[in-house]
C-alpha cells in the first residue's frame, strides 16, 4: 500500500499510524527497490458479514492496496473478470469490482465497520445497553463508525447476548381479540374457582353476555366441581356450552374433568402457564362478586352463606353489564321488574325484540371499544414473532424469578398457544411469554439450560478472534422449523425424539382426593381408567409430527435405542451437544483424526464429508442418555467400489442357541458394550483419506476454515472400517480369550475347559453377548481392560433389539421377548399406499426374532409387490398386527433342562401352492427337548419355495430338507 493511501485510510477509520517494521522488508517496483516504512492493520469489507483482516506493508509510492495471489488463495477468493466480481464460493458472496485504466479495483467507501470483538467490548463496557442509545453516544463523540450498519450489528449482537436475552423487560400481552360474528349465549363460558370467607366458590361467566352463576363447593374434587357446574349452569339454563375456557388449576387439567367435558360435547381449552388474568372477565368479575357479597353480608349478617351468594350473583346479573346493557337483558330479553313499582310484564314478542336490540347495541359497543384499545395500547412484541415448531425460545417467568429462562424447544403450535418442553414436561404458553433464543456467536446450535433449575445468567464474551484469518459478523444459527401439529396434551419429550410415549397425568392432589367419607372420587377413578382417551385425537399428530417422522418411517422402539433425526429440536439441547463434544474429545485423544492445512492436501485426494449422528439410549427410562457419533459419509468414498464386504454378523438363531445352552449348562448371562469401538482399532488406516466436517461442526474440532481432518484411524461408515474393528475384536477373542468360532456362525464363539464347555460369546459390531460359568466371567473381564467399555450388564439386558431377562432364583430361567416394541405397532387403513404397507411390514418383521407364530404371515406380507398390491393384503397385515398386540407379552422361555435326556426335535411342513403366485410355503421349527416335555426353541423359518413344485410330496420333501440341514448344523455345534 502506498503511503498516501495508508494515511487516508488511517484518517478515515481513526486507526493508528503504521507501526515501524521489526526487520527490513524490500519491495521491487519497475526495477526500483523500496523499503517498507511499517505495517498497517487494514479491514477490507467484502460483504455485510465478512471482511479481510490484513497487516499491510506501507511503501513510499502512490500505489493502491495490492492483493496478491497468496492472499486470494489463502481466503479462497478469485477474480471473475467477465462479471467484474471478487468471488468466494465457500462463503457465498461476490464483491463488485471496477475497471479503471486497464486495471481492476475493489473500491469501498467510508462505511468501514467495527469488528465483532470491538462492538462486543463496547457493548459490555457500557453494561449491556440498548443499541439505540449506544449508537447515539458514538455519534455524539463524532465517531465515523456510527453508521446504520453499526446499528444493525449492535442489534444482532444484543440478540445473541446471553445477559441481554434473559434480563430484557417483561413482555406485554395481547389485550384485545376479534369479536365473534354474533352474540350467542352459552357459546363460550369461563370457569374459575375463587374463595369467599375462606370457602371455595365455583364462578361461571358467559364470555359475550357476562351472565354469571356461582355456588359454594362441597369439596375441591373433580366430581364436586363438575356437579356444581352442572347444577348452577348446564341443567339450570341452556345445557352444556360449545366451548369452555379454564386456567391451569389441577381440577381442570385432570383426566377426569377432561373426560367429562368430552362426554358432554364441550371443547375445553386451558390457558397457558404464566398467563395470569387471561380469563379476562372470568377473573375480573371475581372482585365485583366479592364486593357485592361482602355488602350483602354486612347488611344481613344472619343470612346463610349460600343465600348471600345467590343475592350477590342476582345483583350482578341485573345491574352490571357492558355499556349499560345488563346481562339479563342480553340473555332473557328483559330487565327484572322492581317490586315497589309494579309494571306490566312484557310479552314474548317484546322480550325477543328487546334482546335483539340489546345484542345489536352491544356488538357495536364492544367492536368500537376493541378498535380503540388496539389503537391506544402498545402492540406486543409477540405480534411479529415467528416461532415455528422446533425453535428454541426463552420463557418469561414472573416474580420472584422475574426474568427469561431457557432455552427450551417448541414442540407444537396452535394459534397463539405454544407447547414448550420445560422440566421434562410439555407446558402450554401464550406466544407473548416467549422470545426466540439466539445462541452465542460461534455456537453451532442453541444451548439448552439445565432442566429443573434456572440457568445462571453469565456475561458471555463473543469470540472476537479471527479463525484462519477471517472474521464473521452475526449469523447466529436458528433451530430448524417443523410442521405445526395439533396441541399434544401431556406428551412427554420422548415424543420429540420419535417415540409415541404418552405421559399419564398424575393423580389428584391430597386436597382433591379427600372427599366425604364413603364417597368415591369420580375424578380419581376417571384419571386411572380413561387417562389415555384425552390423547385419542392428538397423539398421532403431536407425537409423530413433532419429531417430523416421515411417512412410512419405522416405529421407534420403546425402552430401546431411538435415532434422533437431523433437524430435531433435541439436537440443540445441552446434553446432546455435550455428547458431541465428548465424541470429539475421544477422537482427538485417541488420535483418530489430525488437522491438516487445506493447501497441503494433494489435488484429487480422496475427501469425504462427515457429520454427527445422535441416538437416545434407554428411551423412556430414568437412565435415558443421548449418544453422539461422528460418522463419515462413506457413500462418497472413491474406494467404495473396490471394497468387498464379507464380515460375519451374529445370526438371530445364534442368540437363542446361546441362551438355550446357558440354561442347560446353568450359566449366567451378561453383556459388554464397547465405547467408541472404532477408536480402539489397533491398526492404522492403510490408505490416505481426508474428512471435511460440516460448517456448524468445525468449532467442535477447533479447526480453521483453511483446515480439514486427516483420518488416521477409520471412523464409523468408512466403507472398510468394519474390517479393521473385526480384525481387532477377533484377535482379542481368539488370542486373549482362547475361543473358537462355531461352524454354523463365525460370529458365535465357544471356550472349552477341562470339564467341557465353560462359556459362549456372540459379537454384533461393538456389542458382545455372553454366557458362562464363574471362571468364564472372570476371564472375560480382560475385555473390559483391553477395551474402554460400559460397565458389564448382568442377567437383564437388551441385545440387538431383544430384551433378555433372568430369574433371580437358581437354576435360572431365561426369557427373550420384544414386548415393548409390540406396543408401537399400528394398523393401516385399507386405502394405505404401497409405501406405507412395506414400511409397516418391515416394522412387524422385527418381531420375527421372538414370535414364531407370526413367521408365516410376515413372510407372506413380504411377498407382496407393487403390481399385486390389493386391500386384502392390508387386511391380512392388520390381522397380524392385531395378533401381535393382543399377545404382546408372548416370548420365548428357556427353563433348565435335564442334560441326561436331551434330544433335538425338528418339525417341517409345506403348504402346497397357497401363495399368490401359486408357489408353496415351506416351514420348520427345531427345538431342544428333554424327557419331561420341556423344550427350547432354537430355530424356525417360514419361507417361500424358490422353485415351483408340481406335487404336495415335493413340497414336503423341500421343507424336510431345509429342516434337516438346519438341524444337522445345530446338532454338530451342540
Q: What is the mean pLDDT of residues 229-258?
A: 84
pLDDT value at 630 more than 60: yes
The per-residue pLDDT for 37 is 81
The per-residue pLDDT for 215 is 92
What does pLDDT average to over the chain? Answer: 74
- Residue 555 has phi, psi (to 5 degrees) of -65, 140
Confidence of residue 201 (pLDDT cuts 50, 70, 90): very high
Residues 577 and 667 in one domain: yes
- Residue 518 has phi, psi (to 5 degrees) of 85, -5
Residues 6+ away with beta carbon under 8 Å from 798: 559, 560, 804
Cell 445462571 belongs to residue: 456
Helices (H) and strands (E) in the chain, counts: 27, 39
Looking at 781, 801, 817, the residue that finishes a domain is 817
The closest alpha carbon to 561, from 630, 523, 616, belongs to 616
Does residue 963 fall inside a structural domain? yes
Residues 902 and 806 in one domain: no
pLDDT value at 205 more than 60: yes
Does residue 60 fall inside a structural domain? yes
DSSP assignment of 72-133 equals HHHTT-EEETTTTEEEETTTTEEEE-EEETTEEE----S-PPPPHHHHHHHHHHTTS--HHH
Q: What is the mean pLDDT of residues 912-917?
A: 81
Q: What is the mean pLDDT of residues 451-475?
A: 36
Residues 775 and 834 in one domain: no
Helix (H) or strand (E) holding 768: strand 767-772
Residue spans of alpha helices (H) in 209-254: 222-229, 250-253
Q: Which of 463-477, 602-616, 801-815 has the lowest mean pLDDT?
A: 463-477
Residues 75 and 192 in one domain: no
Looking at 323, 349, 374, the residue that finishes a domain is 374
The closest alpha carbon to 468, from 607, 608, 598, belongs to 598
Does residue 517 fall inside a structural domain? no
Give the span between the Cα atoms of 500 and 541, in whole angstroms.
Answer: 10
- Residue 168 has phi, psi (to 5 degrees) of -70, 155
Looking at 105, 136, 152, the residue that finishes a domain is 105
Residues 836 and 779 in one domain: no
E strand segments, 542-667: 562-564, 593-597, 607-617, 625-632
Q: What is the mean pLDDT of residues 299-308?
A: 82
Residues 775 and 829 in one domain: no
Confidence of residue 302 (pLDDT cuts 50, 70, 90): confident
Q: Which of 101-115, 148-162, 230-244, 508-522 has the lowest mean pLDDT?
A: 508-522
Considering only residues 483 and 689, tell me which one the structure prediction assigns the higher pLDDT: 689
E strand segments, 545-606: 562-564, 593-597
Quote the cell numbers at residue 663.
Answer: 440354561
Does residue 429 fall inside a structural domain? no
Residues 78 and 219 in one domain: no
Residues 907 and 813 in one domain: no
Confidence of residue 92 (pLDDT cuts 50, 70, 90): confident
- 866-903 pLDDT tens trace: 888 888 888 888 888 888 877 777 888 899 988 888 88
Q: Which of 11-20, 245-254, 352-361, 965-974 has the lowest mean pLDDT?
A: 352-361
- 707-766 pLDDT tens trace: 888 887 777 777 777 777 778 888 888 888 888 888 888 888 888 888 888 899 988 887
pLDDT value at 677 more than 60: yes
Q: Which of 193-207, 379-393, 822-836, 935-949 has the lowest mean pLDDT?
A: 379-393
The closest alpha carbon to 174, from 339, 385, 347, belongs to 385
Quote the cell numbers at residue 515.
Answer: 372427599
Q: What is the mean pLDDT of residues 109-119?
A: 61
Query: Based on C-alpha coordinates, what's the Rg of the chain?
Result: 37
Confidence of residue 400 (pLDDT cuts 50, 70, 90): low
E strand segments, 452-546: 471-472
Does residue 319 fall inside a structural domain? yes
Whether pTM exceeds 0.75: no
Residues 791 and 840 in one domain: no
Residues 723 and 846 in one domain: no
Angle at 778 between CA 775 and CA 784, to 5 degrees: 150
Does residue 310 fall inside a structural domain? yes
The per-residue pLDDT for 15 is 63
Confidence of residue 645 (pLDDT cuts 50, 70, 90): low
Supply the CATH number for residue 342's domain.
3.30.420.10
The per-residue pLDDT for 480 is 34
The per-residue pLDDT for 214 is 92
Percent of the chain whose pLDDT exceeds 90: 2
Q: What is the mean pLDDT of residues 466-473?
A: 37
Considering only residues 384 and 628, tell me which one the structure prediction assigns the higher pLDDT: 628
- 513-540 pLDDT tens trace: 344 444 445 545 445 444 444 444 344 4
Highest mean pLDDT among 596-605, 635-644, 682-691, 768-777: 768-777
Burial of 6 (0-12, 13-18, 19+ CB in 10 A): buried
Q: What is the mean pLDDT of residues 36-51?
A: 79
Asked if 734 and 740 count as a contact pair (C-beta separation under 8 A), the reply is: yes
pLDDT value at 174 more than 60: no
Highest mean pLDDT among 183-192, 549-558, 926-935: 926-935
The per-residue pLDDT for 708 is 83
Structural domain harbouring 958: 819-973
pLDDT value at 958 more than 80: yes
pLDDT value at 114 more than 80: no
Counted domains in the chain: 4
Does residue 156 fall inside a structural domain? no
Confidence of residue 449 (pLDDT cuts 50, 70, 90): very low
Q: What is the mean pLDDT of residues 350-359?
A: 59
pLDDT value at 3 more than 70: yes
pLDDT value at 914 more than 60: yes
Does residue 131 fall inside a structural domain? no
> Helices 131-140 and 148-160 meet at what angle, rounded to 10?
140
Residues 813 and 842 in one domain: no
Q: Which of 88-92, 189-193, 552-556 has the lowest mean pLDDT?
A: 552-556
- 8-32 pLDDT tens trace: 887 776 666 676 676 777 888 777 8
Residues 628 and 750 in one domain: yes
pLDDT value at 507 more than 60: no
pLDDT value at 551 more than 80: no
Residue spans of alpha helices (H) in 254-347: 255-263, 281-299, 305-319, 327-332
Q: Exposure pattern of 615-632 as b/e (b: 16+ CB <10 Å)?
A: bbbebbeeebebbbbbbb
Cell 403450535 belongs to residue: 413
Asked if 29 and 63 count as a contact pair (C-beta separation under 8 A), the reply is: yes
Confidence of residue 588 (pLDDT cuts 50, 70, 90): confident
The per-residue pLDDT for 446 is 41
Q: Which of 377-386, 531-540, 568-577, 808-817 has the lowest mean pLDDT?
A: 531-540
Give just the sign of the alpha carbon dihedral 692, 696, 701, 705.
Answer: positive
Amino acid at each position: 500500500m502506498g503511503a498516501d493511501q495508508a494515511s487516508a485510510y488511517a484518517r478515515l477509520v481513526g486507526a493508528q499510524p503504521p507501526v515501524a517494521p521489526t526487520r527490513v522488508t524490500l519491495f521491487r517496483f519497475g526495477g526500483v527497490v523500496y523499503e517498507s516504512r511499517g505495517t498497517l492493520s487494514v479491514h477490507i469489507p467484502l460483504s455485510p458479514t465478512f471482511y479481510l483482516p490484513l497487516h499491510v506493508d506501507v511503501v513510499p509510492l502512490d500505489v493502491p492496496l495490492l492483493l496478491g495471489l497468496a492472499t486470494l488463495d489463502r481466503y479462497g477468493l478469485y477474480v471473475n473478470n467477465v462479471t467484474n466480481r471478487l468471488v468466494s464460493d465457500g462463503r457465498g458472496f461476490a464483491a463488485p469490482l471496477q475497471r479503471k485504466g486497464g486495471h481492476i479495483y475493489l473500491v469501498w467507501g467510508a462505511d468501514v465497520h467495527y469488528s465483532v470483538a470491538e462492538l462486543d467490548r463496547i457493548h459490555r463496557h457500557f453494561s449491556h445497553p440498548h443499541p439505540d442509545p449506544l449508537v447515539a453516544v458514538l455519534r455524539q463523540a463524532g465517531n465515523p463508525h456510527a453508521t446504520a450498519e453499526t446499528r444493525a450489528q449492535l442489534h444482532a449482537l444484543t440478540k445473541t447476548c446471553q445477559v441481554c436475552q434473559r434480563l430484557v423487560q417483561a413482555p406485554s400481552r395481547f389485550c384485545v381479540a376479534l369479536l365473534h360474528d354474533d352474540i350467542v349465549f352459552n357459546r363460550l363460558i369461563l370457569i374459575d374457582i375463587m374463595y369467599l370467607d375462606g370457602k371455595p366458590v365455583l364462578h361461571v361467566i358467559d364470555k359475550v353476555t357476562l351472565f354469571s352463576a356461582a355456588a359454594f363447593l362441597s369439596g375441591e374434587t373433580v366430581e364436586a366441581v363438575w356437579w356444581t357446574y352442572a347444577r348452577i349452569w348446564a341443567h339450570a339454563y341452556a345445557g352444556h356450552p360449545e366451548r369452555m375456557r379454564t386456567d391451569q388449576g389441577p381440577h381442570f387439567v385432570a383426566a377426569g374433568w377432561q373426560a367429562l367435558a368430552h362426554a358432554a360435547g364441550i371443547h375445553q381449552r386451558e390457558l397457558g402457564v404464566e398467563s395470569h388474568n387471561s380469563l379476562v372477565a372470568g377473573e375480573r368479575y371475581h372482585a365485583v362478586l366479592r364486593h357485592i357479597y361482602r355488602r350483602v353480608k354486612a347488611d344481613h349478617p344472619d343470612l346463610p352463606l349460600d343465600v348471600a351468594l345467590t343475592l350477590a350473583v342476582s345483583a350482578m346479573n341485573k345491574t352490571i353489564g357492558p355499556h349499560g346493557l345488563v346481562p339479563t337483558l342480553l340473555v332473557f330479553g328483559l330487565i327484572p321488574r322492581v317490586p315497589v313499582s309494579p309494571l306490566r310484564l312484557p310479552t314474548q314478542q317484546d322480550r325477543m325484540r328487546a334482546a335483539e336490540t340489546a345484542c345489536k347495541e352491544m356488538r357495536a359497543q364492544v367492536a368500537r371499544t376493541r378498535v380503540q384499545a388496539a389503537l391506544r395500547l402498545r402492540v406486543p412484541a409477540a405480534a411479529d414473532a415467528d416461532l415455528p415448531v422446533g425453535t428454541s425460545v426463552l420463557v418469561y417467568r414472573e416474580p420472584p424469578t422475574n426474568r427469561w429462562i431457557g432455552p427450551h424447544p417448541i414442540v407444537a403450535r396452535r394459534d397463539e398457544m405454544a407447547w414448550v418442553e420445560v422440566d421434562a414436561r410439555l407446558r402450554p404458553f401464550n406466544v407473548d411469554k416467549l422470545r426466540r433464543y439466539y445462541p452465542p456467536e460461534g455456537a453451532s446450535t442453541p444451548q439448552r439450560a439445565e432442566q429443573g433449575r434456572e440457568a445462571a445468567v453469565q456475561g458471555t464474551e463473543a469470540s472476537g478472534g479471527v479463525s484462519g484469518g477471517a472474521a464473521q459478523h452475526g449469523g447466529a444459527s436458528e433451530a430448524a422449523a417443523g410442521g405445526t401439529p395439533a396441541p399434544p396434551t401431556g406428551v412427554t419429550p420422548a415424543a420429540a425424539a420419535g417415540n409415541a410415549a404418552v405421559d399419564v397425568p398424575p393423580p389428584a392432589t391430597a386436597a382433591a382426593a379427600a372427599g366425604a367419607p364413603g364417597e368415591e372420587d369420580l375424578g380419581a377413578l376417571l384419571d386411572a381408567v380413561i387417562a389415555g382417551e384425552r390423547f385419542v385425537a392428538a397423539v398421532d399428530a403431536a407425537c409423530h409430527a413433532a419429531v417430523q417422522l416421515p411417512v412410512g418411517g419405522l416405529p421407534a422402539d420403546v425402552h430401546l435405542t431411538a435415532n434422533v433425526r437431523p433437524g430435531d429440536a433435541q439436537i440443540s439441547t445441552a446434553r446432546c451437544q455435550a455428547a458431541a463434544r465428548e465424541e470429539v474429545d475421544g477422537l482427538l485423544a485417541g488420535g483418530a483424526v489430525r488437522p491438516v492445512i487445506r493447501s497441503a492436501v494433494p489435488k484429487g485426494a480422496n475427501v469425504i464429508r462427515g457429520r454427527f449422528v445422535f441416538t437416545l439410549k434407554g428411551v423412556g427410562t430414568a437412565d435415558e442418555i443421548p449418544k453422539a457419533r461422528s460418522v463419515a459419509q462413506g457413500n462418497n468414498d472413491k474406494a467404495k467400489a473396490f471394497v468387498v464386504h464379507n464380515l460375519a454378523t451374529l445370526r438371530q438363531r445364534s442368540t437363542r442357541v446361546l441362551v438355550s445352552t446357558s440354561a442347560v449348562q446353568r450359566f449366567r448371562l451378561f453383556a459388554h458394550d464397547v465405547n467408541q469401538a472404532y477408536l480402539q482399532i489397533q491398526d492404522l488406516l492403510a490408505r490416505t483419506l481426508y474428512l471435511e466436517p460440516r460448517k456448524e461442526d468445525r468449532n467442535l474440532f477447533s479447526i480453521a476454515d483453511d483446515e480439514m481432518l486427516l483420518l488416521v484411524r477409520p471412523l464409523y461408515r468408512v466403507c472398510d472400517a468394519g474390517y479393521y474393528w473385526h480384525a481387532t475384536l477377533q484377535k482379542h477373542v481368539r488370542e486373549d480369550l482362547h475361543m473358537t468360532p462355531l461352524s454354523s456362525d463365525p460370529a458365535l464363539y465357544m471356550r472349552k475347559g477341562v470339564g467341557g464347555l465353560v462359556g459362549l460369546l456372540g459379537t454384533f459390531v461393538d456389542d458382545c453377548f455372553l454366557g458362562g460359568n464363574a471362571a468364564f466371567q472372570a476371564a472375560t473381564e480382560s475385555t473390559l481392560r483391553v477395551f474402554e467399555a460400559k460397565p458389564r450388564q448382568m442377567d437383564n439386558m437388551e441385545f440387538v433389539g431383544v430384551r433378555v431377562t433372568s430369574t433371580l432364583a437358581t437354576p435360572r430361567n431365561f426369557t427373550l421377548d420384544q414386548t415393548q416394541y409390540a406396543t408401537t405397532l399400528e394398523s393401516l387403513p385399507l386405502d394405505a399406499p404401497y409405501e406405507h404397507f412395506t414400511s409397516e411390514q418391515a416394522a412387524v418383521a422385527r418381531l420375527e426374532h421372538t414370535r414364531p407364530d407370526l413367521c408365516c404371515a410376515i413372510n407372506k406380507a413380504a411377498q407382496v409387490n407393487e403390481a399385486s398390491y390389493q386391500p386384502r393384503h392390508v387386511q391380512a397385515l392388520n390381522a397380524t398386527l392385531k395378533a401381535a398386540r393382543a399377545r404382546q407379552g408372548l416370548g420365548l422361555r428357556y427353563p433348565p433342562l435335564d442334560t441326561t435326556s436331551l434330544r433335538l426335535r425338528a418339525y417341517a411342513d409345506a403348504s402346497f401352492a397357497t401363495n399368490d403366485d401359486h408357489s408353496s410355503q415351506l416351514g420348520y421349527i427345531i427345538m431342544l427337548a428333554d424327557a419331561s416335555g420341556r423344550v427350547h426353541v432354537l430355530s424356525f423359518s417360514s419361507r417361500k419355495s424358490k422353485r415351483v413344485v408340481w406335487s404336495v410330496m415335493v413340497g414336503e420333501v423341500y421343507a424336510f430338507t431345509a429342516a434337516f440341514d438346519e438341524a444337522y448344523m445345530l446338532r454338530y455345534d451342540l
